[in-house]
Structure 1
Amino acid sequence: MPTKFLKNWERDEGYSVFRKVQDRIHPGPPLKERLTNSIYRIQVMRHRMEDTENRLTQKDKDMFNKCVNAQMAKQTDRAAMYANELAEIRKIAKLILRSQMALEQVELRLSTIRDFGDVAVTMAPVVGIVHAIRNQLMGVMPEVSYELGTIGETLNSLVVEAGDVTGAGYDIEASSEEATKILNEANAVAEQKMKERFPELPIAVPAAEREKARSP
């Protein structure tokens, strides 16, 4: 890692007068501090999403029981209504679960970057993942979506700044491919966890609604 980049990576308390003047011209915390702050904010978002997912799981259990009871009482229309609501709950739950899995990968990658550097190359896919999750959650968890947007902007500025200082560029296409791969892996994990946590939808659910519950 170039010396100039190292100086701005993690400051010591005794940095020179020249550095102080330089910081006044280009204010802002060191890169490592901003990266650590982004990791913390992502952890907060993950916990918030986990709380929401837990509430959805409980709501699903309650709705499932109502659907079963309605079927046993031969209340077909009511059972279908509950089943359709179940499909919608599971669609949202899967989206949130998938986003959690992807953000966990983002957090791991950022922690590695914080400890070992190589920001410009290895962080680029992370920025794409954060923006993708932000767009997916916009209509479901707007507060989390907004916060992820600001986190994405911070990470993007770190990539640009690191690239300018080190002279290291990154392959946009390769970064996009890696981001897509990570998102697909997160989706596969979410699929498995959905099967483990949620029972099969009742027979009353139309085929289209069953597919809807499985879709992102």
Structure 2
Amino acid sequence: MINQGDFDESLFDEKAREKLKLKLEQSLNQLSAQIIKLRSKYGEMVARSKEYFEEVVQALMNGDENRASIYAEEIAEIRRLAGIVIKTQLVLEQVKLRLETILEISDVLGLLIPLISLVAEVEDEVRGVAPEAAESLRELASCIEDFTSISGAGEEVIQVPKELDAEALKILEEAQKKAAERVKNAFPDVPKLSEEEKLVYSYISASDEELDLKRCARELGLDEDQIRDVLRRLEQKGLIQLVG
């Protein structure tokens, strides 16, 4: 049982410490592998989202609003899941750093306890998108919990300072914030195009040559200032990239 209060590391004998160290090393290896997998999964999600983004644009150009909506909904779902994946990755990286610190400085075992709070907060959420990562977290939590019984503490109650629980919450909040920022930057908003934007984008897409502003304006029946304004809006929506 883990309550608030003062953490007493004297409860842990040397044999228990060695057993814990071995388990933590195993957990560290598992977490490292899961972090690599999560990075790969996130990259796949970003790539798939970009493909669907192009499908949305093409559907809008063809006037197929229903098809565009279908792909837009898929992008929204991928974005939601990607947020969970990147948050999990960030939390695992924090846990990994904590384990490395504990293994280097064996007399700070109190640093283990906040990890239980981290696991409890993210485990269920993670299981839906990365079950192997969730299982690694569960095994780590079990390792920490079991340690209290193999340490020779008997029925003693391990007391944990309130600031340690607060630290776990802070890590989660920071991970959530960073995850939201990364997802926002990696996943463009689904575009909604005006008739002028559709017209100009279709014109650009149909040509392999560098855009001739005067010619474009003449052929589309718009003035050059209108074309410039449309080009800026298309760039803001992530559809084109202006050079120079």
Distance 1:138 1:41 in 2: 16
Question: Which stretches in structure 1 are left out of the alignment for 5+ residues?
Answer: 11-29, 205-216
TM-score (norm 1): 0.75
What secondary structure, in the 3-state scheme, does the structure 1 residue paired with 2:158 have? coil
Q: State which structure, 1 or 2, has the greater radius of gyration over its C-alpha atoms.
A: 2
Distance 1:123 1:50 in 2: 25
Structure number with the higher helix fraction is: 1
Superposed CA deviations along residues 22-64 of structure 1, whole A, max 9, x for unmatched, are xxxxxxxx22111111111111121222221111111111111
Superposed CA deviations along residues 99-150 of structure 1, whole A, max 9, x for unmatched, are 1001100110111011112454211111221232211112222333233222
Superposed CA deviations along residues 154-190 of structure 1, whole A, max 9, x for unmatched, are 122235545829x893326443322111100001111
**Pairing partner for 2:147 from 147, 158, 165:** 158
Match of 2:189 in 1: 200
Match of 1:134 in 2: 123
Q: Percent identity at matched positions?
A: 29
Distance 2:139 2:23 in 1: 12
Would you say how many aligned residue pairs link Structure 1 and Structure 2? 184
Q: Is the 8 A contact 1:98 1:189 kept in 2?
A: yes
Distance 1:173 1:108 in 2: 21
Superposed CA deviations along residues 60-81 of structure 1, whole A, max 9, x for unmatched, are 1111110111111111111111
1:33 aligns with 2:22: yes
Question: Which stretches in structure 2 are left out of the alignment for 5+ residues?
Answer: 1-8, 194-244
1:148 aligns with 2:156: no
TM-score (norm 2): 0.67
Q: Is the 8 A contact 1:120 1:170 kept in 2?
A: no
Query: Which residue identity is paired with 1:106?
Result: V
Cα distance change, pair 106–138 in 1 and its aligned pair in 2 (3 A):
same
Q: Is the 8 A contact 1:123 1:159 kept in 2?
A: no
- RMSD (Å), alpha carbons: 2.6
Distance 1:149 1:134 in 2: 7
Distance 2:128 2:152 in 1: 34
Query: Which residue identity is paired with 2:83?
Result: K
Q: Is the 8 A contact 1:126 1:179 kept in 2?
A: yes
**Pairing partner for 1:175 from 164, 169, 173:** 164
Distance 1:201 1:54 in 2: 19
**Pairing partner for 1:84 from 64, 73, 82:** 73
Query: Which residue identity is paired with 1:183?
Result: L
Matched ranges for 1:19-30 at <5 A: 30=19
Runs of 4+ in 1 over 4 A off after TM superposition: 1-4, 159-163
